[in-house]
Structure 1
Amino acid sequence: MIKSLAGSSRILRGATTCLLTTTTTTTQALRWSIRYYCNNTTTTTALPPYRILFFGTDDVSIHTLTKLHENNMLKTGMITPTSSSSLSTPQTTRVVEEIAVVCPNNSSELVYQYARDNKIPMYHPDDEKGMKNFQVPLSPSNQPFDLAVVVSFGYFIPKAVLASFRYGGLNMHPSLLPRHRGAAPIYHTLLKGDKETGISVIRLDANRFDVGDILQQRRIALDPLTMYTPLRHELATTGAGMVLSTLTDFPEAAKNAWPQGEDGATKAPKVNKLQSRIDWAAHDITTIWRLFRAFGDNIGIHTTIYSKKYKAWKRLRFTQMVPPPHTLEDSILEDQYVRLQLVIRSGRLNMDSVKPGSYFLNSGVMWVRCANDGWVGFTSVHEEAKKKEVTAAEFLFGKGVVSPGSAAADTIATLPETQHVV
């Protein structure tokens, strides 16, 4: 066995020396260690496999947990290369020696269900204090954990907890940090109209969320028609592969990590349903399209409309929207926008009296006036207290705004001032 020089006094001041050592244990015949000696400070980062405590909750976290668990279950020591891996060569090392999970005590969450179904040891933050007094457990073999891996966990990992891990922790964040630091980076990527996004695998910082050094980062171009749910899935699966590849060569990744800096840093706090409400007088077509991309396939974008039957204002959620012209290649207008322009140019609408929120039906599209003299089109809606969504034409027929006969003839029903959404 090569003698370890970890305790040697022959450490060069003001210089960096890398010494390669090996150690043997009863459970592992050979394990390489790379030790970096810098100004009398020793940081030892062993090559994999690692004992990992995973922190996560939801449908973003589950992809990383699944990959880590499948890697842990490998018996041959060979990892099948995947399309999401960022390595240029096939992975040949089992990177997960042991794994356990920390997640909220909520059986409806995917991480909880996966850990339960696969009999992975599971621990929970305190319902009231969160991670404040959390005691890091030992691994299934009663050994200290090497690394904390955190993905969409929702709780800050305190310094005392992080200090329990031999090599600290890493986090997968679905944005190009330092842009969109916070709990909802994917929402804010779409709300800001970003043309690209990405994945950042970073070191956990003991004092702040999402500011740690970057271990690996990948850029992803955004299609202007991309919606939240498929984007979240793409980032979650890609990020899971990047976590695994980072762990595969963690000592090198840690050595070459770079600071985020503050240039271009933005915040991405949690979102709520109030942000998905359309303000027709303030929101233009670009803003409403960004709202639809961010919220349209989950919490939905909405307005309110007066119900004569219930004598009350009801929430109206728009479930399908006509993409704006600027989202189409070569500025080619969709057929619906061609028809809209024909209506406007025909003079059949008194544009001077059309206020933001006024709407009409043409060729199955409900057109609503918005800010900056714009129009946005919707083809299906869901009214509060109704069982299912309906087409825009069916909704307006039911409100008596237009008759089936006139709609079939593609005529325009110009609304009086009182008929508008707010």
Structure 2
Amino acid sequence: MFIFYVRWTTSRHLRFPKCSHSTSIVKPLNVAFFGSDIFSMHILEHLYKLFANGKSPIKHLEVVTTISTSNTVMHGAEKLKLTTHIWPNTDALLSKSSVQFDIGILASFGQLLPKKLIECFPLGIINVHPSLLPRWRGSSPLIYTIASGDQIGGVSIMDIRPKHFDIGPILMQQSFPLSNNIKMLELLETTANVGCSLLNTVLEDPIKARQNSQEQSSLDVAYAHKLNKHAFYIDWFNQTVEDIERLYRALNDIANLRTSFRQKPVRLKLLTLIHDQNIIDNLNVISSQPGTAIYNRTLECVCIRCKNGWIGFQKIAYRKSMYARDFQNGYISKIDRFIFDSIHNPLFDHIYDRRLPS
């Protein structure tokens, strides 16, 4: 169970373009939702429940999403029988829809919105972002939150600004402590639930929420850059046991961590932390070279040396997936010194300089 802390902020000197945001909108609201992934779908399902409730602040709901075979929102909107528009063709949304939309709600959409589109919504477009902005602006805030070892997570409801991601004024924020073993999907569900709760408050009076908003600080800005395949690789020379364990919790719900052996890819499964000091001492006697792999019968895992110690994996996928004992018999035992390649991980280029003090 998480304990939530609500942070309310106000500003007296906000300026908005003339005619951008109406002060005379009458509820219930006509809403256009922009999203594409699992986090988006959590928010859309909540909005749909509000829409289906006759006494809710939402009178009409339509969806804007992108074309993709794995698009969670596309399939979800079809099941909910919601009118769906494909980005970037929004002409039907703006000119052919049966209603005039009051507000846009965006969650993990991944597309820059033009000024012309934003100004078509009298109450603008707001974004549900799963981090405490300005920390972890960008496309992968949940992953960076875990991989960086943040002890506090949160959600921000912000105003969308054209041609930029995650720079608009904050309407509401809520923070909560993170457990030391939280995984990505668990954090995703928590932030989605918090985001839905914040949306309830904002939609009760979106004009007041905007009047009480505050510009983001220009200090402590951190970016959660889009992932590439190298983000899943382990740099045995430069990453610590703690780095690798956090990376595993951040990414394993998406795909396995990776290394390579003789330039061929290896996937690492079922991470095991090694706490027995006797085992660690024995491993240190054998080797201190990062990347060295040694099978341990007691733990039934392949122990691999990293920057500051040893970390284990119970399953290895090299050509085919196998348990650690089979990997020992098939590969490690046949080589005098089995050493995995150390591959640079660009994710940590951004994390090391932006990690918060403990």
- Find the aligned partners of 1:42 and 1:357 in 2 and give their Cα distance: 57
- Superposition pairs for residues 27-66 of structure 1, below 5 Å? 43-66=22-45
**Where does structure 1 lack aligned partners over 5 or more consecutive residues?**
1-15, 17-38, 78-93, 126-130, 307-312, 324-335, 403-414
Question: Could you give the per-residue CA deviations for residues 152-184 of structure 1, whole angstroms, max 9, x where no partner exists?
Answer: 111111100001011111100000000001111
Equivalent residue number for residue 67 of structure 2: 105
Report whether the alignment pairs 1:395 with 2:327: yes
TM-score of the two chains, using structure 2 as the length reference: 0.82
Q: CA deviation at 1:345?
A: 4.0
- Contact 1:100–1:139 (CA<8 Å) still a contact in 2? no
Residue of 200, 213, 220 corresponding to 1:244: 200
Aligned residues: 323
Equivalent residue number for residue 420 of structure 1: 339
TM-score of the two chains, using structure 1 as the length reference: 0.70
Change (3 A) 1:45 1:268: farther
Equivalent residue number for residue 7 of structure 2: none
Amino acid at match of 1:396: Q
Report whether the alignment pairs 1:365 with 2:301: yes
- Superposition pairs for residues 378-393 of structure 1, below 5 Å? 378-384=313-319, 386=320, 389-393=321-325
- Contact 2:232–2:257 (CA<8 Å) still a contact in 1? yes
Question: Could you give the per-residue CA deviations for residues 131-171 of structure 1, whole angstroms, max 9, x where no partner exists?
Answer: 4x743625887331000111111111110000101111110
- Superposition pairs for residues 295-374 of structure 1, below 5 Å? 295-306=251-262, 313-323=263-273, 336-338=274-276, 341-345=277-281, 350-351=285-286, 353-362=287-296, 363=298, 364-372=300-308, 374=309
Change (3 A) 1:397 1:60: same
Relative contact order (C-alpha < 8 Å, sep 6+): which is higher?
2
Change (3 A) 1:105 1:349: closer
Amino acid at match of 1:366: V
Report whether the alignment pairs 1:119 with 2:75: no
Q: CA deviation at 1:47?
A: 4.8
- Find the aligned partners of 1:138 and 1:297 in 2 and give their Cα distance: 37
Change (3 A) 1:158 1:369: same
Supply the RMSD in Å over aligned alpha carbons: 2.6
- Find the aligned partners of 1:143 and 1:42 in 2 and give their Cα distance: 18
- Contact 2:22–2:122 (CA<8 Å) still a contact in 1? no
Equivalent residue number for residue 187 of structure 2: 231
Question: Could you give the per-residue CA deviations for residues 223-247 of structure 1, whole angstroms, max 9, x where no partner exists?
Answer: 1211112212222233233223321
> SS state of the match for residue 325, structure 2?
helix
**Where does structure 2 lack aligned partners over 5 or more consecutive residues?**
1-11, 13-17, 342-358
Q: CA deviation at 1:263?
A: 1.5
- Contact 2:139–2:226 (CA<8 Å) still a contact in 1? yes
- Contact 1:136–1:161 (CA<8 Å) still a contact in 2? no
> SS state of the match for residue 223, structure 2?
coil
- Find the aligned partners of 1:136 and 1:148 in 2 and give their Cα distance: 15
